[in-house]
Amino acid sequence: MPVINFIEFDGTEYSVDVAEGVSLMQGALDNMVDGIVAECGGCCVCCTCHCMIDPAWQETAGSANAEESELLDMLDSREDGSRLSCQVKVTPAMEGMVVRLPESQY
């Protein structure tokens, strides 16, 4: 299982094992990472699993599709590496990936 490194807004770090094929959101929830709310359970409708993929990992994570991008446009905190963590599926190439979390999911 690839290790994903989640970093909260306050600098708290979590290095967690996430199974291949599982979303970053589910991996965060399964490992009790604070900062991912996931109100919709991963249906790509609420933006409460917003994360920012570290620039070094953005190509590996891929880009948002049109639906995800429209949702991200509603956020004041959107950045170049912003993604909805429910839409990023973990692959072996993500070993060591750094994922930052926003100050708030609301």
pLDDT of residue 33: 95
**Per-residue pLDDT averaged across 59-76, rounded?**
96
Residue 105 banded pLDDT, cuts 50, 70, 90: confident
Question: What's the mean per-residue pLDDT of the chain?
Answer: 96
Give, for 25, the enclosing helix (H) or strand (E).
Answer: helix 24-30
pLDDT at 106 over 80: no
Q: What is the pLDDT of residues 8-49, one digit of tens each?
A: 999 999 999 999 999 999 999 999 999 999 999 999 999 999
36: Cβ contacts below 8 Å, ≥ 6 apart: 6, 25, 28, 29, 48, 49, 51, 85, 101, 105
Tell me if 106 is assigned to some domain: no
Nearest Cα to Cα of residue 29 among 51, 10, 45, 53: 51
pLDDT at 62 over 90: yes
For residue 49, what are the domain limits?
A: 3-100
Cα separation, 82 vs 73, whole angstroms: 10
CATH number at residue 40: 3.10.20.30
